[in-house]
Structures are given as C-alpha cells and as structure tokens.
C-alpha cells in the first residue's frame, strides 16, 4: 500500500520539479503546460491499465492476466497469485468431492438423497437399478411417485433407523430389496436399499428344510411310537428287563415326537406372514386353565397359584395358550418338589403383563440372553432328564413377537425365576361388564395362596 502512495508521490514530485524547472527557464505558462501534459499522461496510463483490468475481469482467465510495470504490475502479480491459490483449493475440493461421489457410486447398496419435499436430489446407479429410477432424468421428481410401494410414504415420513420395508419390484422378478430411510442434515433424507434376495432365499430354504424334515420324520415316528405303546401294554410273558427297555424306548420315542411337533410349530410360526388372529381372550379363564394344567403336570409336588385381573387381551388364543403353557411347564419342570409356581395376569402402566414366577433352581445371569435360542441348554444333562425339547422358549419368543410383545426374564440362581410376557397397551381390552364375576373367584385363589 505504502509503495503505491510512495510511487505516486515520487511521480508527482518529479512532475512538479520538472514543471518548476521548465517554468524557471521558459516562463510560467510553459511550466504549467508541462505539468498539465505530464499529469494527463499519468492519468492516461492509469486509465489504460484500469481498462485492461476491467476487460480481463469480464472473462477472467489465469493466463490472460495483463502485464504491467510499477504499481499496476504489483497488482496484477497479486491477482495472479490469488487466482493460483484459489485454483489449487478448487482442484483439491473437486478431487475430494470426486472421491466421495465415486465412493457413493461404488457402494453396493442403493443410495437416494431426498430433499425436504421428498424430491430426488441425487441417486447412485445401484439405486436406479433397485428402484427403477432414471438418474438425471428423475432428479426433482417425487420419489413416491416413481416407487409406488404401499407403505413407502409412511416410511419416508416417519421412518426411524431400523425400520425397513421389503420391495419386490415387478420388473425385476424374484429380487427382493430392503429399503431403509435415514434422516440427515436439515430435512434431508437418505434412502438406502439393500439387495436381500440371497438372504431371503437362504432363509426360505432353511425354513422349508426344517419344515419338510420335521414333517417327513413325524410319520414314521408316529408308527413306531404306536407299536411301542402296544408292546408296553401287552406285557404277556415278557421278562422284566425287556419291559423296562420297552418303557425307555417308549419314553424316548415320545420325546422325539414332541421335538418334531415343536419344530413344526416353530417353522409354522416363522413362515406365517399373516398377522395373528385378533380374538378377545378372557385371561382369567385362561389362567385358571393353565393353573390346572400345571397342577396336573406337577403331580401335586408343587403349589400352583393363579391370579388374574379381569382385563382381556387381544390376540390369537391358540398361539398364546401354547406360549403360556410352555412357560408354565418350564416352571414345573425346573422347580424342586415343594416349591410354588404363581401365574399372574396384571396391568402395569397400561400394558398387559402375563408372568409365571417360580421358586425353582433359577438361571445364572450369563445364560439369560441366550435362553430363547433353539436347543440352548443351561445344563445339558439336567434339562434333558426333565423332558424338555429345547424349543419351548423359542416358540414363546416367536408367538410374542407376532403379538408385538416382549419376553422379560428375571432370575436369581437358587431362588427362582420370573418369565413375563409384556403386551402393548392397545392389545389390552377393558373387562367385559358381565365378566365381573371372575373377580371374587380370583381373590379366593389369592387367599388360598396365602394360607
């Protein structure tokens, strides 16, 4: 800055000195004329440079930067440097952007970016294949207009992480894609589509396999158990040893049959896409049924108590009954003689809770998360002796899943366990006016438990 002023000062000083000299020699008029001429020349050069700069600014091209000496030269050099820095920065940013867009393009999952109004801003090629979009041509169109999957509008409007929607495009036969919507930035949405065809196919194959094998095994097993039963009953002229062996055979064959039946139940539950039947279940009656069933199983070795609030539950009676009875029979099986088992149906914070509490052997904490896995055994020897199939809790879990309920397990080794099925509030129905009679009956049960 200072140099510009200095140069101007020097120049003006030079002009003034030269004009004064000319004035002294040739007279004042000549001197002033010289000064005027010199100033005019100075102004012209500056205007000329300014014009060049202006011309260049209209079409800024780095190599066309004007060349000059003096102060203008400095200005142009600075301009040149600035442009070079900027160019470098732009190249770097462009390179980075390129990397990101290449990465997004290379992603094996389909990606679509939507703006606040759900219009397409950008999509990668995989998404175009998955969803039948047409790249640039579809930018700015509403995604839900092009992918008219029932339920997609809702997913985009209020989809949260983890909720997915299956898309089976008609134009790509047999392919299955899973669609998820993630929110980012301000009102932007990222739609991700995964190809789950293989997973789906493998899952179907596994399910079909289990179902088929169980089915195929069931028929011969029924024949075998039938004959063994006949042999056991027909004791005529057989030795004691042979009879005992037959009893063991009968026992094991029955176990196998139960196993196959449970496997069939499980694969049926898994394969069921239809939501469960919505019946109104009177839990008080069901609890009483389960209590009697528990007593029968226990053979009077335990005290079995039931207690139910009069509220009813919405769901499939058959499925829930089998799940609950699994919980009861587990409790009977793992509770030593003299222990007690309580079956409760209560309302907690509006949600329905069915729980089975026992004073049994309990479960160590590390086993609890894995209990609902198929064939998971806490203690290999013991549970097999007790006659379980190892599938009971898996069935319970599936039935509850189908009813949007969760299974809560709390247990202390040596003291007992509580298995609770917690149902969402909308599955709980207020008691029927006429069913108020069940209430006193329940209190009777409670008093019995107290005695």
User: Residue 340, interface with another protein (CB under 8 A)?
Assistant: no
Give whichever of 208 and 432 is closer to another protein, judged by the CB atom: 208
Q: Are 420 and 407 in contact (CB under 8 A)?
A: yes
User: Residue 366, interface with another protein (CB under 8 A)?
Assistant: no
Residue in the structure block whose two tokens are 């000319």: 22
Q: Please choose, out of 105-113, 142-150, 201-209, 330-338, the segment that lies near another protein by the rule CB under 8 A.
A: 142-150
Give whichever of 130 and 312 is closer to another protein, judged by the CB atom: 130
Name the strand (E) or helix (H) holding 250.
Answer: helix 240-271
Residues 262-321 that bind another protein (CB under 8 A): 274
Q: Please choose, out of 84-92, 141-149, 217-225, 413-421, the segment that lies near another protein by the rule CB under 8 A.
A: 141-149
Provide the pairing of β-strand 340-348 with 303-308.
parallel
- Binder among 30, 47, 101, 145 for another protein (CB under 8 A): 145
- Binder among 54, 137, 434, 447 for another protein (CB under 8 A): 137
User: Residue 157, interface with another protein (CB under 8 A)?
Assistant: no
Three-state SS at 1: coil
Instruction: Give 406's strand partners.
Output: 422
Give whichever of 58 and 173 is closer to another protein, judged by the CB atom: 173
User: Residue 132, interface with another protein (CB under 8 A)?
Assistant: yes
CA distance 180 to 308: 41
Q: Which of 173, 157, 270 is nearest to 165 (CA)?
A: 157
Phi and psi torsions of 182, nearest 5°: -120, 135
Which residues does 301 contact at the CB level (< 8 Å), separation at least 6?
337, 338
User: Residue 141, interface with another protein (CB under 8 A)?
Assistant: yes
How many residues bind another protein (CB under 8 A)? The answer is 16
Q: How far is the CB of 384 from another protein (least distance, A)?
A: 38
* Gyration radius of the chain's alpha carbons: 43
Q: How far is the CB of 148 from another protein (least distance, A)?
A: 3
Three-state SS at 376: coil
Q: Please choose, out of 134-142, 206-214, 263-271, 418-426, the segment that lies near another protein by the rule CB under 8 A.
A: 134-142
Give whichever of 197 and 254 is closer to another protein, judged by the CB atom: 197
- Binder among 58, 63, 148, 380 for another protein (CB under 8 A): 148
Q: Are 345 and 358 in contact (CB under 8 A)?
A: no
Instruction: Give 176's strand partners.
Output: none
Give whichever of 274 and 447 is closer to another protein, judged by the CB atom: 274
Q: Are 177 and 110 in contact (CB under 8 A)?
A: yes
- Binder among 36, 41, 93, 146 for another protein (CB under 8 A): 146
Name the strand (E) or helix (H) holding 237.
Answer: none
Q: How far is the CB of 142 from another protein (least distance, A)?
A: 6
Residues that bind another protein (CB under 8 A): 132, 134, 137-138, 141-142, 144-146, 148-150, 153, 170-171, 274
């Amino acid at each position: 800055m200072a140099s510009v002023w200095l140069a101007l000062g020097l120049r003006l000083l030079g002009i003034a000195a030269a004009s004064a000299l000319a004035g002294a020699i040739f007279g004042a008029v000549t001197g002033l004329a010289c000064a005027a001429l010199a100033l005019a020349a100075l102004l012209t050069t500056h205007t000329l440079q300014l014009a060049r700069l202006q011309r260049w600014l209209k079409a800024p091209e780095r190599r066309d930067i004007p060349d000059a000496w003096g102060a203008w030269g400095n200005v142009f050099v600075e301009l040149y440097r600035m442009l070079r820095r900027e160019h470098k920065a732009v190249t770097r940013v462009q390179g980075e952007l390129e990397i990101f867009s290449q990465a997004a393009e290379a992603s094996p999952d389909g990606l679509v970016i939507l703006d606040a109004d759900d219009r397409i801003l950008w999509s990668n090629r995989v998404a175009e294949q998955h969803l039948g979009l047409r790249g640039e041509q579809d930018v700015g169109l509403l995604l839900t207009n092009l992918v008219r999957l029932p339920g997609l509008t809702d997913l985009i409007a209020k989809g949260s992480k983890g909720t997915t929607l299956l898309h089976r495009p008609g134009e790509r036969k047999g392919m299955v894609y899973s669609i998820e919507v993630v929110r980012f930035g301000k009102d932007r949405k990222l739609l991700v589509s995964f190809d789950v065809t293989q997973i789906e196919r493998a899952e179907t194959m596994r399910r079909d396999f289990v179902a088929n094998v169980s089915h195929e095994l069931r028929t011969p097993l029924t024949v075998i158990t039938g004959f063994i039963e006949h042999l056991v009953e027909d004791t005529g002229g057989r030795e004691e040893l042979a009879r005992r062996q037959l009893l063991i055979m009968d026992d094991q064959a029955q176990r196998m049959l139960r196993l196959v039946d449970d496997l069939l139940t499980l694969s049926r539950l898994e394969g069921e896409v239809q939501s469960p039947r919505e019946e109104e279940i009177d839990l008080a009656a069901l609890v009483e049924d389960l209590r009697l069933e528990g007593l029968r199983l226990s053979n009077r070795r335990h005290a079995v108590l039931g207690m139910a609030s009069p509220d009813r539950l919405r769901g499939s009676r058959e499925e829930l009954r089998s799940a609950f009875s699994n919980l009861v029979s587990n409790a009977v099986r793992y509770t030593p003689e003299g222990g007690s088992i309580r079956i409760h149906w209560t309302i907690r914070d509006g949600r329905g809770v069915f729980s089975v509490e026992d004073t049994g052997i309990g479960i160590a904490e590390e086993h609890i998360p894995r209990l609902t896995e198929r064939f998971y055994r806490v203690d290999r020897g013991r549970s097999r002796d007790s006659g379980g199939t190892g599938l009971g809790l898996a069935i319970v879990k599936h039935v509850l899943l189908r009813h949007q309920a969760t299974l809560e397990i709390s247990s202390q080794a040596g003291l007992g366990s509580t298995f609770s099925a917690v149902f969402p509030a909308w599955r709980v129905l207020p008691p029927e006016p006429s069913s108020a009679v069940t209430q006193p009956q329940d209190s009777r049960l409670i008093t019995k438990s107290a005695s």
